[in-house]
Amino acid sequence: MEFFISLYPFLLDWLDLIVRWIHIIVGIAWIGTSFYFNWLDSRLDREINNEKIEGELWSVHSGGFYHINKLKGPPKVFPKELHWFKWEAYTTWISGFVLLIIIYYLNAEGMMIDKNVNDLSPFNAIVISLIFLLGSWLIYDFLCKSILINNTILFSLACLFIAILASYFLTKIFGSRAAYVHVGACLGTIMAANVFRVIIPSQKNMVDAALANKEPNLQKGIDAKIRSIHNNYITLPVLFIMISSHFPFTYGHRYNWLILALISIIGATVRHYFNLRNKKEYKIWILPLATVGMICLMLYVSIPKVIQNEKIITSNNEISFYEINNIIKYRCSVCHTTKPTFEDFEDPPLGIIFDTPEDILKNINKIKAQVIDSDVMPPGNLTGITESERKKISLWIELGAKINN
């Protein structure tokens, strides 16, 4: 029995790896499908002399020519095999939710809860997480069924306001990294539910009506098209959230919710440019506008850190490596050592260790990013590092990170 208990953390790591791999594979397939069909529908040649065909497209790929027709109605004879595009969405959400369980729910105290933000119990944190996932879909679905859906600008502003509000509250409930992940999980839930609850039922209605020689419910088709377009715009913000965990200066910033909102707006704006371009509407000014927005955001996040570092350098303070080593020993090395003493880790996270002065110097940039430029480490501040200790590490780094004093 003890053998299997000892094996559990390793099996969990393997499960994490495999599910992450699956999540990336099916996520690429789903987003690729969204991009392709949005492009395809926009690029159809509709000026053709055929009353049965709405549009056609010729393309060349993989050593062959493809001729695609979009029919105005159902075919007289249904093919033996009709391809549906749904499992990409379902498996992406399922694998994502399994990852949420493995990484966050099973280690809620370390990965979800930051006692400096909100002193939750693991059970309460998980319940709140599930409420946000379900609530995000219910609120979005309500907006889609309201009169706001008839006004694209008002609908978009309402959704943006609610998304920003949710982001803000999540950063006040969970640790910063978990908050970002939950915003992405909420958006992913909306996208998958759109497929499961609206898009696929609409397509089934269309097929069933055709087989029964009846008229399909046209409103369902219109609703499905709207939800599909929404999914297309959400893709880039979700992709940013997926990679944001590698960049703590985003989710670890004091105004992390605002940074997330602004980058999401920039991402959706870029997506809008390409959607217009697919329709041969060339709004060239959109990309420079998005670029300027990104540069302004970069300066907003980075300049205060540079000014702060300059003040530290000119302060003429000195600090010994002995003191820094002790801080790292008691605040960081419980996890980042050859044999971690923290119960949730059998091996040092990401293979990073601080056992020797040379180990510390080798990872100095990672320490600066995770401990100084943001406060995401230690996770949930489980080891109780103080602001004074963070400032001492920052001072030591800016004064040259000497290990011989």
pLDDT tens per residue across span 73-102:
888 888 888 889 999 999 999 999 999 999
Q: For residue 108, which of 133, 136, 128, 94 has the smallest C-alpha distance? A: 128
- The β-bridge partners of 237 are none
- Which SS3 state, helix, strand or coil, does residue 88 take? helix
pLDDT at res. 216: 83
Q: For residue 241, which of 259, 221, 222 has the smallest C-alpha distance? A: 259
Number of C-beta neighbours around residue 218 at 10 A: 11
The DSSP call for residue 45 is: B
pLDDT at res. 233: 94
The DSSP call for residue 400 is: T
Under the banding of pLDDT at 50, 70 and 90, the label for residue 133 is very high
Buried b (16+ CB within 10 A) or exposed e, 306-340: eeebeebeeeeeebebeebbebbeebbbbbbbeeb
The two structure tokens encoding residue 363 = 């990872």
Give the dihedral of Cα atoms 184, 185, 190, 195; nearest 10 deg: 110
pLDDT tens per residue across span 299-312:
888 776 666 555 55
Q: What is the DSSP string of 119-174?
A: ---HHHHHHHHHHHHHHHHHHHHHHHTSGGGG-HHHHHHHHHHHHHHHHHHHHTTS
Computed over every residue of the chain, the mean pLDDT equals 86
More confident of the two residues 167 and 48? 167
Dist. CA 127–CA 184, nearest whole Å: 17
Q: For residue 107, which of 204, 201, 23, 174 has the smallest C-alpha distance? A: 174
pLDDT of residue 170 exceeding 90 = yes
% of the chain surpassing 90 pLDDT: 44
- The β-bridge partners of 66 are 59
Global model pTM greater than 0.85:
no
pLDDT at res. 388: 80
Dist. CA 165–CA 172, nearest whole Å: 11
pLDDT of residue 313 exceeding 70 = no
Q: What does the pLDDT average to over 245-254?
A: 83
pLDDT tens per residue across span 255-293:
889 999 999 999 999 999 998 888 888 888 999 999 999
Q: For residue 118, which of 375, 331, 381 has the smallest C-alpha distance? A: 381
176-193 vs 256-278: helix axis angle to the nearest 10? Answer: 30
- The β-bridge partners of 45 are 56
pLDDT at res. 331: 81
In sign, the C-alpha dihedral spanning 30, 32, 35, 41 is negative
pLDDT at res. 303: 74
pLDDT at res. 19: 94
pLDDT tens per residue across span 55-67:
999 999 988 999 9
Dist. CA 268–CA 237, nearest whole Å: 7
pLDDT tens per residue across span 2-24:
666 667 777 888 898 999 999 99
Distances (CA, A) of 335 to 322, 354, 375, 377, 386: 20, 9, 16, 11, 18
pLDDT at res. 224: 92
pLDDT at res. 172: 92
Cis peptide bond upstream of 340, omega within 30: no
Residue 48 makes CB contacts below 8 A (sequence gap 6+) with: 55, 56
pLDDT of residue 232 exceeding 90 = yes
pLDDT at res. 5: 66
Dist. CA 135–CA 129, nearest whole Å: 10
Distances (CA, A) of 223 to 49, 74, 197, 202: 29, 19, 11, 8
The DSSP call for residue 63 is: T
286-313 vs 256-278: helix axis angle to the nearest 10? Answer: 160
**Quick one: how many helices (H) and strands (E) in the chain?**
15, 2
For the chain, give every domain's residue range: 2-40+95-301, 321-398
pLDDT tens per residue across span 314-356:
555 677 777 887 888 778 877 887 777 776 666 777 778 787 8
Dist. CA 17–CA 15, nearest whole Å: 5
